[in-house]
Structure 1
Amino acid sequence: MTSAPRQVTDINGARYSLLRQLGRGGQGAVYEVDGGRLAAKIVFDSSVARRERLRNQLTQVKRLSLADLEIARPIEMLREPVLGYVMELLTGMQPLKVLGAVPKDAGSPAAWYLAGGGLRRRLQLLARSADVLAGLHGKGLVYSDPSPHNIFVSESPDATEVRFIDADNIHYTSVAGVPAVYTPGYGAPELVRCTSGVNSLTDAHAFSVLTFQTLSLVHPLIGDTVNDGPPEREEEALSGQLPWIDDPTDKSNSASYGIPRSGVLSRKLIDIAGRAFGLGLRDAAKRPGVSEWAECLHGAADATLVCSSCKGTYYLNEKQCPWCDEPRPAFATAAFNLWDPTIGPGGELLQKPAGDRRKAVVAAVLALTDGETVSVTQRLTHGCDGAAGARPVVELLLTGSRLSLRSVDGGRYRLSSPSGGRDTEVTDRVKEIRLEPGIASWRLHIGAPDSLHRVVNFEFRPGGAR
């Protein structure tokens, strides 16, 4: 079977009308179901063995504790002769692949990139996807086939919902020799060579590829020498026998297309990509895990500003917008430091050596663009990850050099000047302060004054030169 019927029935007799195709992969396709927040996956394989494997896999997945992860939960198997199942899926979603390749009729690639939500939204979607994979790995499970085809994201460029479909991919680590299912182009080299089963590091390779591709619009292993060469050269590249496109010492597989990495990858993302596709390509043990990807992606998204002209987003260290050349506006930063009251007055900010000086330990930096409301979440204030990390704590709004703060979690937080001479409190009522250029003029304490906690240092920064 290679096409889906207009209507399917599950094993309990419930009927579902199928609408548009949402995505298609090597094993089957996913269709929107009429009248509900559901989708149906149709598997194009009617073999008895495949049907039994799918039934057993879905039974196992339905028993797993996955409610805290953004994974489309399977509901029920479909009745013969159709092979597949019905799953939960939010309406208004599309596969991540639509953000990773410029359509032929798109016109300006830059305009198309911005229309999809730009850089920040891509970073946020990828960070949330990494959170899901990391949460799955934390339960001792692997997804086995992460790809832009089975990660679904909000259609709206203003939303950042994520759902992994194809729950039948989820299982425990397998061993070499067991046939591994992966999407061509995203399988780890050891899977392509059939020298390993699926595990958290094969998931990590697939995720690193789709992340690099979604941000820079080029596959990290497919350079000009592969595109212009015979088919077997692509297999060599995907099995780890060729250098990656940005290899600093071997340019034989460099790519002449895609977005310049310096504009869409932060320094940390450039570093982690270099490890993923350098040593990590040949030695899985050297490959960064998805938790590290999640941390770097969240941090990169936090460090983006909104252009006042084209509304594109870009990193705060740029002097002008890379999308339209508009000078960088004035902005503020919120630096999250560790505060230890046991050190004594005046030295509570934890320090680390930096050459001949000591610098405060910075856990994270959040950029604040003029006129944009930003939520400080538990990921930033308490180091939480996953769904817990997305819970808002304090809301910030920068207007010129004035900063408005409001507690949104019911908490009351101390706000003080660095000298301690001025002291106030942030509650559910808006509190406004003035920031001084070039100095950390106010500190927001997230935690009890007598215990280790994070403190937020706010600093106003001038705009870029023309």
Structure 2
Amino acid sequence: MELEEIVDSERNIHKTIEVLGKGGQGIVYRCLDKDVAIKVVLRDGDFIKDKESLKQYEKSVLNLSFKPIESHFPMSIPLVTLKEKQGYVMKMAEGYEPLKTFLKKPSILENEEKDGIFRINNAIQELCKDNHYMTLSLSYYSQTQGLRSRLKILTHLAKLLFRLQSKGLVYGDLNLNNVFYKDNSAFLIDADNVRYESEKALCVIFTPNYGALEISQTSKNSDTTNYNTMLSDTFSFAIITYELLNMVHPFDGNKADDSVENFIELPWIEDRKDDSNRSCGLLPFFLTRDLKNLLA
């Protein structure tokens, strides 16, 4: 579904130019005014327009302003809700990119190499020898700011989560599309999901492959309702950390194909007792000194 123009509740018209990310609740668009982004909440891929849902959503967005979030906290706070749709307009600092840009599948890199868009690092190729899959991944790893930058961004993200949790707040839907970075600093979007851990949410929010198992299984079992907690936020952070540092999702192995909706239900790719979901994309445990220097 492509959007061209979106009207907010103050009757301002915003023109969307690209999709910044998709999460468990909807889509975030960058606008022609690059300092502005818009989140549109969807249900089964369509707009939510019924009056009762809109009223509840506007109330939840308004309640966010009463939560103990510092004014300078690096998170995009809703400025105004949308007209006749669930969603809101938010401030978006120019130059930030989503964490998902740190990851690319070797098959895509291989095509980009053929087209002259991506170049393999010759030193890494020599160290990896005949492992072309690993050569592609590690070359991209080194060309996207390497290990040191990833660790700094993840450290800053951990501090942001700590600051929220120290106030009793849960972020709710942590994934690679909701975390942006610039100059080794993290920035959060999708702030409308932030709530107190003790506060009942309007609905269960999670992004497949990033939400904790007890959260994702809630959507399948109507008899139980488990809302996001500080622990489920920490779980999502661990998934992101592993994926950024290892260039592979910790549950995206041989069993993870199109028939599997949520990789979290599969065995861990490094499970010592169950190797049914191993991954050929896992980076080597013991990198040589030369390779460590190239990736730093």
Structure 2 partner of 1:43 = 41
User: In the TM superposition, what is the alpha-carbon distance from 1:13 to its structure 2 partner?
Assistant: 2.8
Structure 2 partner of 1:238 = 264
User: In the TM superposition, what is the alpha-carbon distance from 1:173 to its structure 2 partner?
Assistant: 2.1
User: In the TM superposition, what is the alpha-carbon distance from 1:174 to its structure 2 partner?
Assistant: 5.7
Q: 2: CA distance between counterparts of 1:79 and 1:260? A: 51
More helix by share: 2
User: In the TM superposition, what is the alpha-carbon distance from 1:63 to its structure 2 partner?
Assistant: 2.2
Say whether 1:118 aligns with 2:146: yes
- Aligned in 2, Cα 1:111/1:222: closer, same or farther, shift over 3 Å? closer
CA contact (8 A) 1:101 1:214 kept: no
Structure 1 partner of 2:180 = 152
Structure 1 partner of 2:256 = 227
- Aligned in 2, Cα 1:47/1:114: closer, same or farther, shift over 3 Å? same
Q: 2: CA distance between counterparts of 1:25 and 1:146? A: 9
User: In the TM superposition, what is the alpha-carbon distance from 1:57 to its structure 2 partner?
Assistant: 1.6
Mapping 1:439-458, distance limit 5 Å? none
CA contact (8 A) 1:100 1:215 kept: no
- Aligned in 2, Cα 1:112/1:54: closer, same or farther, shift over 3 Å? same
Say whether 1:202 aligns with 2:232: yes
User: In the TM superposition, what is the alpha-carbon distance from 1:136 to its structure 2 partner?
Assistant: 0.8
User: In the TM superposition, what is the alpha-carbon distance from 1:10 to its structure 2 partner?
Assistant: 2.2
Report which of the two structures shows the higher radius of gyration computed on alpha carbons. 1
Say whether 1:132 aligns with 2:160: yes
User: In the TM superposition, what is the alpha-carbon distance from 1:24 to its structure 2 partner?
Assistant: 2.3
Mapping 1:11-22, distance limit 5 Å? 11-22=9-20
Report SS of the residue matched to 2:101: helix
Report SS of the residue matched to 2:104: coil
Structure 1 partner of 2:127 = none
> Counterpart amino acid of 2:272?
P
Say whether 1:192 aligns with 2:195: no
1:274-308: CA deviation from partner (whole Å, max 9, x where unpaired): xxxxxxxxxxxxxxxxxxxxxxxxxxxxxxxxxxx
1:337-371: CA deviation from partner (whole Å, max 9, x where unpaired): xxxxxxxxxxxxxxxxxxxxxxxxxxxxxxxx9xx
Q: 2: CA distance between counterparts of 1:260 and 1:50? A: 49
Mapping 1:21-420, distance limit 5 Å? 21-35=19-33, 37-44=35-42, 45-48=47-50, 49-66=52-69, 67-80=71-84, 82-102=85-105, 104-107=107-110, 108-154=136-182, 159-173=183-197, 179-194=203-218, 196-224=226-254, 226-227=255-256, 231=259, 235=262, 238-239=264-265, 242-263=266-287, 319-322=289-292
Q: What residue ranges of structure 2 are gaps of 5+ in the alignment?
A: 111-135, 219-223
User: In the TM superposition, what is the alpha-carbon distance from 1:254 to its structure 2 partner?
Assistant: 2.4
- Aligned in 2, Cα 1:218/1:14: closer, same or farther, shift over 3 Å? same
- Aligned in 2, Cα 1:256/1:73: closer, same or farther, shift over 3 Å? same
Larger relative CO (CA 8 A, sep 6+): 1 or 2?
2
Q: 1: CA distance between counterparts of 2:190 and 2:283? A: 30
Q: What is the percent sequence identity of the aligned residues?
A: 29
Deviates more, 1:185-194 or 1:200-209: 185-194
Q: 1: CA distance between counterparts of 2:83 and 2:200? A: 33
Q: 2: CA distance between counterparts of 1:130 and 1:3? A: 34
User: In the TM superposition, what is the alpha-carbon distance from 1:262 to its structure 2 partner?
Assistant: 4.3
1:175-232: CA deviation from partner (whole Å, max 9, x where unpaired): 89984110001111111232532110011111111111111111112322x236x835
- Aligned in 2, Cα 1:262/1:143: closer, same or farther, shift over 3 Å? farther
**How many residues align structurally?**
259
Q: 2: CA distance between counterparts of 1:98 and 1:43? A: 23
Per the normalisation by structure 1, the TM-score is 0.51
- Aligned in 2, Cα 1:246/1:103: closer, same or farther, shift over 3 Å? closer
Per the normalisation by structure 2, the TM-score is 0.77
RMSD value, Cα: 2.8
CA contact (8 A) 1:216 1:261 kept: no
Q: 2: CA distance between counterparts of 1:138 and 1:248? A: 35
